[in-house]
Structure 1
Amino acid sequence: MAQGKRAAQKTEGDVLTGLISFFGVSGSESGVRKYIEQQIRPYVDEISVDRMGNLVARKRGKGPKVMLAAHMDEIGLMVKRMEERGFIYCTAIGGIDPAAFVGNPVHLAAPKGRIHGFLTTHEVSAGKYIQKVPTIEDIFIDTGLTRTQLQQRGVEIGTYVHLESHTCCEGEGGIVLGKALDNRIGCYILIELAKALQRPKADVYFVFTVQEEFGMFGARTSAFQLDPDWGIAVDTTYANDVFADPSRSIGKGPVITVKDGEFIANPCVVGWLKATARKQKIPFQLEATESGTTDASTIQTVRGGVPTGALSIAVRNIHTTSGLARMGDIRDAVRLLAALLRDPPKVCPV
């Protein structure tokens, strides 16, 4: 009870900063899961962790069974080999552009404590210009330690490597900055939604999934177990407002997905979201892209099929440690989902 009271007294910036500050590369989400559990527990009726590691929080209501999914995991690296001099080469976990991470601080999650270092290349280390776009094979971690010293600290093949960054929430202009905005923003939206829903007319399951960045495995097992009437994945998407004619911008409302690289949204779920946004005078954007996807693509295909949509927040520099989003879009997403679930549709006709 005391923990719940303390959690409730946190400001929204504090909670989101806390979410971003945790490290949770796919397959190692336990730390962020414990934090989410602490934050959401006072506002739900049931809470559990399944065998896959998904956190499932239920808010009971008479009505359709609704699954809202937000993945907890983030992109990162894993040790693949170590040279005698201590240079560490890694395999990527999730979609990583190596060029975006040269010079980025990292830490190895070693059994005997974190070991800090930087991602670099041979050219950068030698004070030369990079001549070609680096691949994952070209970048390595330099900690200043030898292989023997690293091994004495417990570093081995399979050790997780976490990407570090500066974090700022609610800076000037309501800006959110930092790593892992994909998808701690989605997790934050579900926590705030649980607070906002007082007496939902749906049986709502807030599902914080694992391993989305590495195959959407958590959403698959959770959706199969819950067998919801319909679902929505809450995630982030690429803002392209650095270009002249953007289709997804920060500060212009949450993004309703019509299609992505692996998912065509259920038309009636898309219609519900658009109609609710218009009724509540909430700004929104539509998305039809050729790349990327969310947990929605997995949820919709379990069992006999689940009518599924996706609601995202536009983020600049997504899948880097320099993500940038606007708090106003996040608040609008909470408002939109809360309005939808206060009087939820029960049937999605085929």
Structure 2
Amino acid sequence: MRDVLTDLMSVPGLSGHEDRVRRRIAGHLDGIATESDRLGNLWATFPGEGPSVMLFTHMDQLGFIVRKIEADGFLRLERLGGVPERALASQEVTVCVDEGRDVDGIIANKSHHATSPDEKYIVVRVADLYVDCGFENRDEAEAAGVRIGSPVVYAPGSFAMGAH
């Protein structure tokens, strides 16, 4: 079960962009009848006797969309969901462009040594942050598949804590 959960947590699924998650869940249900609707809900019906049980959960995650691709290749973000700004700087992210071609990046802002004393400990707004994916310019970002509206999620990862 831990391996299945770890696998499912590794799939990007920004709100409104849960197709990959839905396909991965269905793949784990090989041999079980599944169906989905136009809203993206997934149902699996397990054969058996006795009372029915419903398991309901989210497939989506908090994240961002690309709001702007700067001339220097940096990406500007628009937040989707309740992403806390105070925890964003230095977060690793994944820009979802195509399965197998996603782009890794890091949320950045003005470096600490270049920040004035009165700015050093102020929480930076999402609009003032950027994602550095290592692109030299806008053309390079677009050639990698990044577009305005591309989903951006926290880089997937999980680890065990103690015996749990």
Q: Distance in 2 between matches of 1:13 and 1:162?
A: 22
Q: Which residue of 1 aligns with 2:78?
A: 91
Residue type of the alignment partner of 1:28: H
Matches within 5 A, 1:226-237: none
Q: Distance in 1 between matches of 2:106 and 2:35?
A: 37
- State how many pairs are aligned: 160
- Between structure 1 and structure 2, the one with the greater Rg is 1
Q: Which residue of 1 aligns with 2:17?
A: 28
Partner SS, residue 56 of structure 1:
strand
Q: Distance in 2 between matches of 1:79 and 1:31?
A: 19
Question: In 1, are the aligned partners of 2:104 and 2:155 still within 8 Å (CA)?
Answer: no
Relative contact order, higher structure (CA 8 A, sep 6+): 2
Question: In 1, are the aligned partners of 2:66 and 2:78 still within 8 Å (CA)?
Answer: yes
Q: Distance in 2 between matches of 1:71 and 1:18?
A: 15
Q: Which residue of 2 aligns with 1:119?
A: 107
| Aligned CA distance change for structure 1 residues 126 and 164 (closer, same or farther; 3 Å) | farther
**RMSD, aligned CA:** 2.6
Q: Which residue of 2 aligns with 1:202?
A: none
Find out whether 1:157 has 2:148 as its counterpart: yes
Residue type of the alignment partner of 1:51: R
**Ranges in structure 2 where 5+ consecutive residues have no aligned partner:** none
Q: Distance in 2 between matches of 1:126 and 1:166?
A: 31
| Aligned CA distance change for structure 1 residues 124 and 78 (closer, same or farther; 3 Å) | farther
Residue type of the alignment partner of 1:137: A
Question: In 1, are the aligned partners of 2:69 and 2:76 still within 8 Å (CA)?
Answer: yes
Q: Distance in 2 between matches of 1:165 and 1:35?
A: 15
Partner SS, residue 173 of structure 1:
coil
Find out whether 1:140 has 2:127 as its counterpart: no
| Aligned CA distance change for structure 1 residues 55 and 125 (closer, same or farther; 3 Å) | farther
Question: In 2, are the aligned partners of 1:41 and 1:47 still within 8 Å (CA)?
Answer: no
Q: Distance in 2 between matches of 1:72 and 1:97?
A: 20
**TM-score, normalising length from structure 1?**
0.41
Pairwise CA distance, 1:173 = 2.7
Tell me the percent identity. Answer: 31
| Aligned CA distance change for structure 1 residues 62 and 166 (closer, same or farther; 3 Å) | closer
Q: Which residue of 2 aligns with 1:104?
A: 91
Q: Which residue of 2 aligns with 1:246?
A: none
Residue type of the alignment partner of 2:109: T
Question: In 2, are the aligned partners of 1:117 and 1:144 still within 8 Å (CA)?
Answer: yes
Q: Distance in 1 between matches of 2:158 and 2:102?
A: 19
Structure with bigger helix share is 1
Q: Which residue of 2 aligns with 1:7?
A: none
Report Cα offsets for 1:31-56 as digits up to 9, x if no partner.
Answer: 221221122344x5x32111111111
Pairwise CA distance, 1:106 = 1.2
Question: In 2, are the aligned partners of 1:79 and 1:91 still within 8 Å (CA)?
Answer: yes
Pairwise CA distance, 1:62 = 7.5
Report Cα offsets for 1:167-186 as digits up to 9, x if no partner.
Answer: 114x4231xxxxxxxxxxxx
